[in-house]
Amino acid sequence: MLKLFNWYEKKSVEHGKTQNVGEFSRSEKNSKEYMNFCEKMDDEFERHMEEENNMVSKSKLERYWLESKEDSKVHGDKFDVLAWWKVNSLRHPILSQMVRDILAIPVSTVASESAFSTGGRILDPYRTSLSPKVAEALICAQN
């Protein structure tokens, strides 16, 4: 996992995709979300200062592993991992990118054979009587 994390970290630095935590637009700065974010950042900074002596030589991944875990007694079966990543993606931008890439669920589970079939399920009898060139033009023109 450390090798994968290092690869993502290198990739994000090369492409400049790491978002600074303080990057908010002007309209966002007046919002309640921004105020909550500022309060959260103050709390995080205090916690960071307390842990800084122990964490100086650790990688971002090791720091993530050492963070306190979510209490299952508080959340029970209702823990929403997507909401957690939405809130914490700014704290862990590289890990959140890894999660999006690795744990992504395919949008469709339709078998490709049936999706691209030229049988009667996709094309009706009228369309299947057309020449292949005309049928292709009609299918492409839908987009």
In this prediction the pTM is 0.41
| The pLDDT of residue 55 is above 70 | no
Alpha helices in 16-131 (DSSP H): 26-29, 32-55, 60-66, 72-75, 81-88, 93-102, 112-115, 125-128
Q: Please indicate whether residue 78 or residue 112 has the higher confidence score (pLDDT).
A: 78
Q: What count of Cα atoms within 13 Å lies in the side-chain half-sphere of residue 105?
A: 4
Q: What is the C-alpha R_g of the chain?
A: 24
Q: Which of 14, 18, 16 is nearest to 95 (CA)?
A: 18
Q: Please indicate whether residue 32 or residue 133 has the higher confidence score (pLDDT).
A: 133
Mean pLDDT of the region 46-62: 68
| 56: confidence class by pLDDT, cuts 50, 70, 90 | low
Question: For all residues of the chain together, what is the average pLDDT?
Answer: 72
| The pLDDT of residue 29 is above 60 | no
Quick one: pLDDT at residue 107? 72
